[in-house]
Structure 1
Amino acid sequence: MHIHKYEKLWLGLGLLLIVGFIATITYGAVGAGVTMVDESGEVVNPNNLSEHPEFGDPGVEQVGENEYDVHVISRQFAFSPGTASPITVPANSTINFYVTSSDVIHGFSIVGTNANTMVIPGEVAEITVEAEEPGEYGIVCHEYCGQGHHDMAGTMEVVPQDEYNGSEQ
């Protein structure tokens, strides 16, 4: 059986594309270092967050030299802290965010950083951000959470180390 040279060319290109797609998917799943959401995070009762040790009074807490934990509650249609008062952290520090929801599914994204997660009632999402440069960063909800969703926004302020007062929060 004779196969025309153009048929061989298209067959070769098709096989090359298949191998390329498989390589791309493999790299995206294994090589890029992207981790998927799993069930390893803490579980809380969304109806009793006020009684939880960290979420009862959410905010910023220094846990080491240049390392801070920030507990945030997402609720329709605000972040606490973040919306009414900004989350204030010092520059050149590591910020560990622990975010949960008290009502419905929300999103939590800090514009200009790697922080981007879905916030599910009863589950605690953990995100680590390196706050290098002073500035103001917007916090947005990127999951539709109701008719006031478009107003659900907040602020994270990164201030110079010498201007930071840990008792502000």
Structure 2
Amino acid sequence: MAEAGPPERHEPYVYELAWILPSIAIPTTMLVAVVIAAFGMGIHLPGIAGTVDPTQLRKTPPFDNPGLTQIAPNRYQLTIVASAWQFQPNEVRVPVGAQVDIVATSRDVIHGFEIPGTNANLMLIPGRIARTTVTFHRPGTYQFMCHEYCGVGHHLMWGRIIVEGTP
């Protein structure tokens, strides 16, 4: 009886390389893109701007008086408090071209804050202060809404920023 030799080898690493190379190249490309965006282009997520006791919001400035305050020529601070399916305030008016610094927090549970079509997209966490800045270049009505499910009345959490004037 003849002794069997070693098994025949077929193109040993072609299939392995076809999977391994893209598995390394794709995540590496994504990592490089994130690093370039974060450091080279200055793109970053809004972070926590501070802390506040959510049980003391009615006594803690600026959350004791939510609303729009002019802080410089054509620059405003919009202080927002989210709680139990509402934003305070839920409607504000600003002039066209105004730069609005949004300072927000939550009184009760995690809420979201988003103005579609702008860079305003915040997570409102009880005890944390979130900040972002938006400049409104065109007149119109900009709706803002809670984009984080917060309970049975979540669909009621919205408001509007009315931008008035001519560009």
Q: What TM-score does the superposition give when structure 2 sets the normalisation length?
A: 0.82
Question: Match for residue 71 of structure 1?
Answer: 79
Name the structure 1 match of 2:21: 15
Unaligned runs of 5+ in 1: 163-169
Q: Deviations over 1:74-109 (max 9, x none)?
A: 011111011xxx121111121110010111110000
Mapping of 1:112-151 within 5 angstroms?
Answer: 112-151=117-156
- Secondary structure of the equivalent of 2:128? coil
- Work out the CA distance in 2 between the residues paired with 1:26 and 1:59: 41
With over 3 angstroms needed to count, the CA separation of the structure-2 counterparts of 1:112 and 1:38, relative to structure 1, is: closer
Counting aligned pairs with the same residue, the percent is 35
Deviation at 1:42, TM superposition (A): 2.0
* 1:3 Cα deviation after fit: 6.1
Letter in 2 for 1:91: V
Pick from 131, 149, 165: which aligns with 1:160? 165
Larger Rg: 1 or 2?
2
> How many corresponding residue pairs?
156
CA distance in 2 between partners of 1:38 and 1:94 (Å): 19
- The CA RMSD over aligned residues, in Å, is 2.3
Moved over 6 A (4+): none
Pairwise CA distance, 1:4: 3.0
SS in 2 for 1:98: strand
CA–CA distance in structure 2, aligned partners of residues 161 and 46 of structure 1: 39
Query: Structure 2, unaligned stretches of length 5 or more?
Result: 1-7
Q: Distance in 2 between matches of 1:147 and 1:58?
A: 24
